[in-house]
Amino acid sequence: MLSQGTAVISNASVDGRAVGAFATYNLEQVEAVVAAGEQTELPVLLLAGSSHFRHANRRLLAVLALTAAEHARTEVGVHLDHCRDLDELRWCVEAGYSSVMYDGSHDPFEQNVAGTADAVRIAHDRGVWVEGELGAVGGDEDVSTGVRTGAMTDPQQAAEFVDRTGVDALAVAVGNVHGFSPDARLDLERLAEIRQAVSVPLVLHGASGLPAEEVRKAIKLGVAKINVNAELRRAYLDAAAAALPDLVEGADAVGMWRAGRQAVQQQVVETLLAYGT
């Protein structure tokens, strides 16, 4: 079923767990994420966002994700990730997305507040919940590796941001980066201060490569949504590369896609079991 309202993330926050939000660029990845949610009987979020639209036509990917969510045997949300365009955000809200993220984190504070507040007004009119971001999570969510951390979220500024914008969830920068970075470590003390300063659930982008115990501590400190992308890309590519030599002669593209889908599903299952219970 297609997730509705903020319960999927607010319940996770109350229960001390995190909902997995998984990047999708094509049919196989959408199928894999939904299948993993059904296998584990845990809620999942399909990330069909702004960077993904650079690869897949926005309308086609949105329809694909929404249709898969509506027919799933578990709760599946469809989330617009890292949107900086209010017209695009409005389009996704009207298309039926269950949640959206307005990313003004690279703008000056007042501009971020104004843009995020506009996004909240657009989305809340349709019952759609909104994630904002404060601080700078480094890297490109599609390809990044070895990225340095950006400016971290200030706890007191986070309180002001949440109060003035009315966001339902807040993505924070506490040492996390997009993609794999062997040197990335979470500032758990800062995260705890943010948790004390704001009442909304927190979101972690860029957990790839972080020690599992560190991520579990972050969940205990209020992180209720974790975005996953790099691990899925790596799982898909590794499986496709391994299968390809045996498939080339027969031009078996379906076999390659199947291998990638199965690998992504397994990765999502492992992530859900680690962070979703």
Q: Yes or no: say if 113 and 164 are a contact pair by the CB < 8 Å rule.
A: yes
CA distances from 98 to 131, 228, 237, 263 (A): 11, 18, 29, 27
- Residue 243 pairs in a beta bridge with none
Average pLDDT over every residue of 69-75: 97
Active site residue 81: yes
Q: What is the pLDDT of residues 13-65, one digit of tens each?
A: 999 999 999 999 999 999 999 999 999 999 999 999 998 999 999 999 999 99
The structure tokens 């390659």 sit at 256
The tokens describing 156, both together, are 């007191």
Give helix 27-40 / helix 253-275 axis angle, nearest 10°: 40
Give the whole-angstrom CA distance, residue 52 versus residue 94.
Answer: 18
Tell me, what's the pLDDT at 143?
46
**pLDDT tens for each residue of 252-275:** 999 999 999 999 999 999 999 998
Q: How confident is the model at residue 176 (pLDDT cuts 50, 70, 90)?
A: confident
pLDDT tens for 109-153 read 999 999 999 999 999 999 999 999 998 655 445 445 544 455 789
By mean pLDDT, which of 2-11, 103-112, 179-188 is the weakest?
A: 179-188
Which bin fits 175, alpha (ψ -120 to 50), beta or left (φ > 0)? left
Q: CA-CA distance, 103 to 17, in Å (whole number)?
A: 24
What was the pLDDT predicted at 213?
87
The tokens describing 191, both together, are 């995260």
Distance CA 249, CA 61 (A): 31
pLDDT in tens, 194-209: 999 999 999 999 877 7
Domain ranges of the chain: 7-230
What percent of the chain clears pLDDT 70, i.e. is strictly above it? Answer: 91
Q: Is the Cβ–Cβ distance between 171 and 137 less than 8 Å? A: yes
Residue 178 token pair: 């997009």
Sign for the pseudo-dihedral over CA of 181, 187, 188, 194: negative
| Mode of pairing for the β-strands spanning 202-204 and 44-47 | unpaired
Average pLDDT, the chain: 91
Helix (H) or strand (E) holding 270: helix 253-275
Distance from C-alpha of 168 to C-alpha of 157, rounded to nearest angstrom: 16
pLDDT band, residue 184 (cuts 50/70/90)? low
Q: Which of 15, 81, 107, 252 is catalytic?
A: 81
For 259, the token pair is 């291998």
Across the range 6-13, mean pLDDT stands at 94
Q: DSSP letters along 49-91, please?
A: -HHHHTTS-HHHHHHHHHHHHHT-SS-EEEEEEEE--HHHHHH
pTM of the model: 0.92
Q: Phi/psi class of residue 82: alpha, beta or left (left: φ > 0; alpha: ψ in -120 to 50)?
A: left
Q: Which residues of 246-275 are buried (b: 16+ CB within 10 A; e: fewer)?
A: ebeeeeeeeebbbbbbbbbbbbbbebbeeb
What is the CATH architecture of 7-230?
Answer: Alpha-Beta Barrel (3.20)
Judge whether 43 and 77 are in contact, CB under 8 Å.
Answer: yes
